[in-house]
Amino acid sequence: MTPAAGVMPLGEHVRRTLRLAGPVMLARAGMVVMITVDTVMSGWAGTDQLAFYGIALVPQVALMLLGIGMLLGTAILAAQRDGAGAAADCGRIWRFGLVNAAILGSLFASLLWFGEPLLLALGQDPAIAAGGGQVVRLLGLGLPGLLLFVATSSFLEGISRPRAGMVVMLLANLVNLGLNYLLMFGPWQLGAAGAALATTLTRWLMCLALLGYVLTMPGRRHYGVGAPLAGHWSIQLRLLQLGWPMALSFGLEHAAFGVASVFAGWLGAAPLAAYQIVLNVMSVIYMLAIGLAVATGVRVGNAAGRGDPVGMARAGWVGIGLVALLMLGLMPLLHGLRNWLVAGYTSEPAVAALAVAGLAVAVWLLLVDASQGVATGALRGMADLWAVAAIQLASFWGIAIPACYLLAFNANYGILGLLFGLFLGLAAACILLVWRFWRLTGGQRAAEQLCGRGG
């Protein structure tokens, strides 16, 4: 049927979502590819170096995601103001975001300076804590630069200009690869610590490059890049109101994966290394979902800013449908290539066998994880943030973590038990978050709008 007057056709929603999601996918994937390169090259340096790098990611990524969560309000608020026709506020939003990024990054770097005691407190073997602690410290030094980059790329995504962040990230991965080789295997031979130092240097270069782009980009005056901040402190208050629940949401999800990493460390160096391989492969693919989640959140936020409930419903359901189709299409490919993928990380038979078995479970884990991620993005675009945090608290900590422990240790399934436990929690989160979006967009009325029968 012909859509109602003023209602964007479903095909146009798909086209606009994919056009925005494509560069975001590549930019977000680039973040994980950088960690993937570090992980692979650490594996080449030895199982102990892979274990050092893998366990170091637990506290570093936890704080990184808390920071990203605090800064994602930049994208949501910029999308809403842009959709409402208040483009000049977007630059102000970005600059307040930079202040927040600098403060958080400096605080987190200070905390991660004490990497070895932190890993010992998590129950790691002293040898793993010593090697991993050095990696934690070096990665922490790059967090301020990374968060400044995230605040800037979020601003650009909020105004639907994500390509600069994509280009910077792609070039940064080439720089990181070269630095890795020099620092890990060149004259310094620093192993996993060299990978961490290379990543830190690269993150600061990324930050400087994207800041330079925004300060010179066409349309910077239209978006208020240099507009005065005086009298606009309500923007900072709104950023904090959006940031806290998103930081909590990010923290709850990553902490669940982090606790599973700690459990893997309790199982030994080989299971920890295998779990890290599985998690890293999943993370690269999950960045495709993050791209769709960001695009969905921006488009839902645009619709919310212009007071368009039909547009909100369509933008959200298109994103959720696209990510489900994408993951279903990738499942057989990932399953078929899992031996080849693992071979790129390690030549240790014990580690490889565990990782190959883990990837057979991970294909199902990715489906529910990606779907709940995009549903979360849709709800964030509507600023329905505390409900998301409550659902994730119940799903990750009420279901996933207890299930991980029981299946890994009581049932003796090892890392397969960890992955099955995560699947149960993420499946629950997926169902509840999709249901929440269904309720907020009017249930049956939302389905009619999606099909073009509603106005």
Which of 373, 382, 390 is closest to 434 using CA atoms?
373
What are the structure tokens assigned to 10, written together? 């479903």
pLDDT at 5: 42
pLDDT at 2: 39
Residue 147 φ/ψ, nearest 5 degrees:
-70, -35
Distance CA 381, CA 76 (A): 6
On the question of pLDDT at 245 being above 90, the answer is no
Which pTM does this prediction carry? Answer: 0.77
Q: Tell me the percentage of the chain whose pLDDT exceeds 70.
A: 96
Q: What is the average per-residue pLDDT within 284-306?
A: 86
pLDDT in tens, 413-427: 999 999 999 999 999
pLDDT in tens, 70-89: 898 898 899 889 888 889 89
| Range from 132-146, 211-225, 304-318 carrying the lowest mean pLDDT | 304-318
Distance CA 196, CA 173 (A): 13
What are the structure tokens assigned to 26, written together? 């590549």
Average pLDDT, the chain: 88
Instruction: Give alpha helix (H) positions in 217-268.
Output: 233-267
What's the DSSP call for residue 411?
Answer: S
pLDDT in tens, 120-172: 998 888 998 999 999 999 999 999 999 999 999 999 999 989 999 999 999 99
On the question of pLDDT at 267 being above 80, the answer is yes
Higher pLDDT: 250 or 91? It is 91
Q: How many CA atoms lie within 13 A of 203 on its CB side?
A: 25
Q: What is the average per-residue pLDDT within 276-285?
A: 84
Distance CA 359, CA 291 (A): 22
Which of 169, 178, 225 is closest to 198 using CA atoms?
178
Higher pLDDT: 186 or 431? It is 431
79, 302 Cβ separation under 8 angstroms: yes
pLDDT band, residue 182 (cuts 50/70/90): very high
On the question of pLDDT at 3 being above 60, the answer is no
pLDDT at 6: 54
pLDDT at 256: 85
On the question of pLDDT at 365 being above 80, the answer is yes
On the question of pLDDT at 326 being above 70, the answer is yes
289, 21 Cβ separation under 8 angstroms: no
Specify the residue for token string 């890290």.
Answer: 276
pLDDT at 426: 95
Question: How far apart, in Å, are the Cα atoms of 350 and each of 41, 347, 357?
Answer: 18, 9, 11
Distance CA 108, CA 145 (A): 12
Strands (E), 377-428: none
pLDDT at 441: 86
pLDDT in tens, 433-454: 999 999 998 764 555 555 554 4
Instruction: Report the largest interatomic distance among the alpha carbons of the chain, rounded to a whole angstrom.
Output: 68
Residue 232 φ/ψ, nearest 5 degrees:
-125, 30
> Taken in order 152, 153, 158, 159, is the CA torsion positive or negative?
positive
Q: What is the average per-residue pLDDT within 24-30?
A: 82
